[in-house]
Structure formats: C-alpha cells, structure tokens
Amino acid sequence: MGADNMANNQDNQDNRDHMEDRPTENQPGNPHEGTGGIGADGAYDIDEPAPGDETLAFESGKDGKGLSELDALRRDHEELQQRLLRVSADYQNFVRRSNMNIQSAREEATSKIVKALVPVLDNIDAAMAVDADKATLENLMAGVQIVGDEFSKTLASFGVTKLTAEAGDEFDPNQHEALMRQPAEDIETNHVVAMLQAGYALGDKTLRPVKVTVAE
C-alpha cells in the first residue's frame, strides 16, 4: 500500500507539471501566431487566418479586398473594350465617308467635263445636218474650224494646253517622243526635224508627248 500511494502521488505531480508547461488562452504560445492562433484544444481559431493563409483569404475575397480589386480589373477591361469598339466604329464610318467623298468628287469632275463637251457635240451634230448638195468646201472647212476652236477652248478651261515643236528645237524627252531619226543638213544632232503629231499637257504634266522626227 505504501509503495502504491507513492507511485500515485508521483504521477499526479508529473501531470500538474505537464499542465503548467502548456500555453493557455491568456499566455502567448508561438511568437508567429496571433491571439486567435492555436487554442488550448490545439485547433486554429476561426476568427483569425492561420499563418500562410493570407493568399487564400485574398483569392477568396474573405476580407473584401481581393474581390474589389478583381471587380475593378473587370470594369477596366470592359471600359477598354467599349472604347475599342467605339474607335473601330468611328474608323469604319470615316473610311465610308471618305470613299463617298472621293466618289462624289469624281462624279462632280466628270459632270463638269461632260457639260463642257456637250456644246462641241451640238456643233458637230449641226454640221452633220447640213445638206451635202448645198454645202461648199469653204463652208465645210469653216465649220470644222469653229468646232476645233471651241473644243480647244473647252480643254483650256480645264487647264489643258497644246504642245507643239518646231524644226530645230532641241529634243526634250519630257515633252517629245522620237518616232524616227533622219539625216538633216541644217539641223544639229538630237534636234527636231519635223513634228508629226501635237501633244497635250495638263499643267506641268505631259498627257501626250509631241511626236517628232530627230536629226541623226
């Protein structure tokens, strides 16, 4: 009996010493744990995230910060997408209006040319309506001259000028086209011998060069 009592007293003393060594709720345990860390029962307090769970709390939006930042990113993405759609629509409208303006300008220019040429066609129709038995060669030549002059005036109204070349003029590749070379006693080499067909220019741009023969 004496031995048994001594053994029981020793066990009780060991249990009391072990309980005193365990941290309680009011005593700090692990210095890395907060007040809601590991409790007396060894479990994590649900009011405070366990060490290393900050990322999980951010991703889940438990504290509201993660969710608000995600919503902000989504809102910014939607705004940028809407801006892109508006810019794309504005550009398509600009291209469509530009094409319409170009087409309108072409039609306007063509309309002006046609209106200017109509009187020339009227004179040609009038000349064709003359009785051939009553027409003389002089009258016919005079009518052709009138039509030609009116047509030249019409071209001049659009900035078109007639290009010509005289014998002895220096050959200009910008305005002349040499159809052939021929010997010429009184004309230097690479100079015009004769004009075969007149040319035309629009401003400084040659529409059709003067066709000439050039001295060898």
Domain annotation covers residue 171: yes
Residue 193 lies in a domain: yes
Give per-residue pLDDT as tens, 15-51. Answer: 555 444 554 444 444 444 444 444 555 554 545 554 5
Percent of the chain with pLDDT over 70: 69
pLDDT of residue 130: 84
Q: What is the reported pLDDT for 39?
A: 52
pLDDT value, residue 135? 83
Measured torsion, CA atoms of residues 150, 175, 178, 187, in degrees rounded to the nearest 10: 100
> Is residue 139 within a helix (H) or strand (E), and if so which, with residue range?
helix 137-157
DSSP 58-124: HHHTTTSHHHHHHHHHHHHHHHHHHHHHHHHHHHHHHHHHHHHHHHHHHHHHHHHHHHHHHHHHHHH
How many domains is the chain built from? 1
In a domain? residue 185 = yes
Flag whether 136 is in a domain: no
Q: What is the pLDDT of residue 83?
A: 93
**For residue 206, what are the domain limits?**
160-216
Given a cut of 50, the residues of the chain with pLDDT beneath it are 1-5, 7, 18-20, 23-38, 44, 46, 50, 52-63
- The contacts found for 150-156 with CB under 8 angstroms, 24 or more apart, are 150/119, 150/120, 150/123, 151/117, 151/120, 154/116, 154/117, 154/119, 154/120, 155/200
Looking up residue 216, the CATH number of its domain turns out to be 2.30.22.10
